[in-house]
Structure formats: C-alpha cells, structure tokens
Amino acid sequence: MEGLLSVILGLLSLWFTLAFLMIVLPSIFGLSLGISELYIKILVKTLEWATLRIQKGIREKRAEVQKIPSSNVIIQRDHTTMEEAIAGLRRGDFELSDAFYYCKKGLEAIVEDEVTQRFTSEELVSWNLLTRTNINFHYISLRLTVVWVIGVFVRYCLLLPLRVTLATIGILSMIVGTTLVGKLPNSETKNWLSDLVHLTCSRILVRALSGTIYYHNKQNKPQKGGICVANHTSPIDVIILTNDGCYAMVGQAHGGLMGVIQRATVKACPHVWFERSEMKDRHLVTKRLREHVADKNKLPILIFPEGTCINNTSVMMFKKGSFEIGGTIYPVAIKYDPQFGDAFWNSSKYGIVSYLLRIMTSWAIVCNVWYLPPVTREEGEDAVHFANRVKSAIARQGGLTELSWDGGLKRAKVKDTYKQEEQKNYSMMIIGNGSSARGSVAAD
C-alpha cells in the first residue's frame, strides 16, 4: 500500500512540475511554447476531414446532394415595416384587414421569435465531433465513429485533468496573490504588482481553456479613466479581455467561491462591487462609477451593457446607464469560433459548474477581439442614441446581428412600454391616413 501511495504521489508531483514548467512559468512572462498553436492546427485538419467525410457519407446515402442547413431558422420573415405591410390593404381609416398584419406577426413569434432563439446555442454548419447539432449527423462511417471515440478519450482523460489543474492553480494564485498585494500601501509598486498578478492568473486560466485569442487594433486598447463596453457571451469574456490588459470590474457582490475571489481582488485593484440592494439604486451606482472615471490613474471600467449572455450571434439592447456616466467609451467586439466549442452560457439551463465542465471538455476556446476607436457622447445626443451608436459599431465589427430587444426578456415578460409604442405607431398611421383621405374627399 505504501509503495502504491508513493507511486501516486510521484506521478502527481511530476504532473504539477510539468504543468508549472511548460504552462505556468511561460504565462508569467507572457510567452508561448507553441503547443497551443500546434494543437489548433491538428484540430483544424481533423475537423476538416470530418466535414468532408460527413458530406461524402450523405452523398453516398442519398440520390442527390443535400446541403446541410446553415442555421436553425424555421421560418423566413418578411422584414417590411408595419406601414408598408398595411398600406396595400387599407384605403382610409381603420380597416378590419389591419388585424391580419398583427396575426401574421403573432404567428411568427409563436413559431419562432427572434429573441428567445438568441438564448440557445447556435446550430453549427457542420458537426465538430462534440455534439450532434443537426438531424443529418447520424451514423456515417466506422472511421468517423472511431475518431469521435478517440476525441472523447482525449477531451475527458487527458485535457480535462490538465485543465482542472491549471484552473485550480490560476484561481488559487489569484486569491493568494491579490490578498498579499492588497496588504501593501498604495503606491506605483502596488499597482504594478496588482497588474502582474491579474495578467499572470488570466493567462493561466486562458491556457486552462486551451484558449487561442486574436487581438486586433491594439492601438485602440482602453486607457485609464475610460469605460470599456463589450458584447457579452460568457463569464469567460472577462478572462479573455484581462489576458491582454487589466480592468476594474463592475458587478454584483456574490457569495461562495466567486465571493472569495471578489473580496480578494478588490484589495489589490479598485474593482466596484455592489450589494444586491445597492444595484437597484441607479443613482448610487452612477455616482460610484463617475467617481471612478474621474480618477485618471484608475484602470478602465469593464462593463457589459447587455446585462446578460447572448449566444454569440447577436448584440441586443445596451442599457443606457453605462452611457450616462460620461468620459470616453472604448467599444470592444468579441466573437467566438463555435466550431471548437460553444462558449455561450445558457444560465437558464446550466449552472456555473456544469457550464465550466462543458467548456473544459470542449476542444478549445478560439475567439477574435477587436478594439474599436474610442468614442464620446456628441453634443445634444442622449444616452439611448449614444448606446445604440456604440452597439451598432460593435455589431458591424463582430459580424453580429443587431437587435433592439432588451436581453432582460430572457427571464421577464415584455414591458408595457413596448406594447404602448406599437399602439402609438398604429394610431399615428391611422391619423395620418385618415386625415389625408378626408382631405382628398373634401377637395373633390
């Protein structure tokens, strides 16, 4: 028994030593040994082979070539406006046929609305040997099945233990490092050490996800005293951005492990954590954020104005609070490559533990980050229009669909203001058409 225990301890020591020398140590200096790049190249070749094999199998089983659906869209929508759609049906004031337009839109929403589908994982064009996301991806061949089995072994028996090890090292290093740095008096040295701890631990955590991140336009990186706003797909968005620079986080104070991390990091860095009761006080939140931005020596604030995670296909409504603070806004667009793994967190379906397990058993996390030119609020521009302008810029750069809906619809009902706005638009149309029709009759 003692001999077996010695062997196990020896293997664990060797495991942690290799992880430290080959991953953790290079992370401290921001270096890469090229292992991740080689792994991604092999993975790309494997997925390309699997795609070709699937297409060949479909051709062999069917008389004619079938294209794999490129999305999970069920219906084709007519994107004409209400005025254009109703104009051909009416002649003057209210017409009973006007109800057909709303019946049509209601049926479209029942079959498939454009909001709730943003809170489910996007469907892939081709199977990535992780999950079968399309009815066409049934049994194709023995070789493809063997490759899938090998992939399961690699992901769960080799990658998962390594990733859990690195995640443990990264989290413990973050807690211990920030706690120690927090005991130092405020100085340039303390700020430098705090940045070093955050950067190093973020790099370790990125490697724990087999992350490959491409940063574009680094000359536009957020500067101190500014506000960084980005689209939101996953909790790991924070790690992705912190891997390339340090930010002051803004959010609600939590309990458990997340609470321990928050309380440790705030000692070393001026993060802004709010209690649940404080989050409801918009004036208090705005006041504390303005005080932070006013100090040009503090790190830029990182905010996700959508307020919830969207499935990497769209950008939904930006809440205006972030754009009422003042100062310079630094927009950032984040787009994940879904063929290597689904980064979206469907918090309604998965808890944080099961989500992290899904992430750590994926092939890798590959994404692009674009730093957009900084913008400021124009004279006479209100916060809503400013937020929409920034949202449009992020959507264009990331190749994402821009939606005007509030991400809060993920868990809440449609606000009465949306209904009242539609009623107002219809009333204005009737008044306009009615007055024009009466005018023409009077002229005759």
Is 335 strand, coil or helix?
strand
Q: What is the mean pLDDT of residues 58-67?
A: 54
Q: Residue 250: what are its φ and ψ, rounded to 5°?
A: -125, 130
On whether residue 45 sits in a domain, the answer given is no
Residues 423 and 391 reside in one and the same domain? no
Which of 125-129, 143-147, 417-421, 432-436 shows the highest mean pLDDT?
143-147
Through-space distance between the first and last CA atoms of the chain, rounded to whole angstroms: 107
Nearest residue to 381 (alpha-carbon basis) of 329, 428, 425, 422: 329
pLDDT band at 64 (very low <50, low <70, confident <90, very high): very low
Residue 38 lies in a domain: no
Q: Which ranges in 186-331 belong to alpha helices (H)? A: 188-208, 237-242, 256-268, 276-279, 282-294
Residues 156 and 286 in one domain: yes
Tokens of 122: 């996007």
Pairing of strands 365-371, 329-336: antiparallel
- Contacts for 27-33 with beta carbons within 8 Å, 24 or more apart? 27/200, 27/203, 27/204, 27/207, 28/200, 30/199, 30/203
Domain membership flag for residue 21: no
Residues 147 and 95 in one domain: no
Evaluate whether residue 263 is within a structural domain: yes
Q: Go through 325-354 and write b for each residue having 16 or more CB atoms within 10 A of its CB, e for each that does not.
A: bebbbbbbbbbbbbbbbbbbbeeeeeeeee
Q: In the predicted model, is pLDDT for residue 229 greater than 90?
A: yes
Verify that 191 and 320 share a domain, yes or no. yes
Based on the domain organization, do 345 and 427 belong to the same domain?
no
Q: What rounded mean pLDDT belongs to the chain?
A: 79
Please tell me the distance from the alpha carbon of residue 361 to that of residue 237, in angstroms, as a whole number.
18
Q: Confirm whether 12 is domain-assigned.
A: no
Please say if the pLDDT value at position 332 is more than 90.
Answer: yes
H or E element in which residue 161 lies: helix 160-182
The residue range of the domain holding 421 is 82-124+415-434
Please report whether residue 9 resides in a domain.
no
Q: Report pLDDT for 368.
A: 95
Q: Looking at the predicted structure, is the pLDDT value of residue 73 above 60?
A: no
Same domain, 268 and 374: yes
Assess whether 112 and 150 both reside in one domain. no
Percent of the chain with pLDDT over 90: 17
| Same domain assignment for residues 194 and 108 | no
Which has more pLDDT, 15 or 163? 163
Helices (H), 2-135: 2-19, 25-28, 35-61, 82-87, 98-112
Please check whether residues 399 and 419 belong to one and the same domain: no
Q: Are residues 399 and 421 in the same domain?
A: no
Q: What is the pTM of this model?
A: 0.78
CA distance 419 to 316: 18
* Residue 402: its H or E element: strand 401-402
Single-letter residue type at 9: L
Residue 155 falls inside a structural domain: yes
Shared domain for 420 and 388, answered yes or no, is no
Domain count, the chain: 2
> 188-228 pLDDT, tens per residue?
888 899 988 899 899 889 988 888 899 999 999 999 889 99
Predicted pLDDT of residue 356: 86
Pair (207, 322) in one structural domain = yes
Query: What is the rounded distance in angstroms from the CA atom of residue 55 to the CA atom of residue 58?
Result: 5
Q: Does some domain include residue 441?
A: no
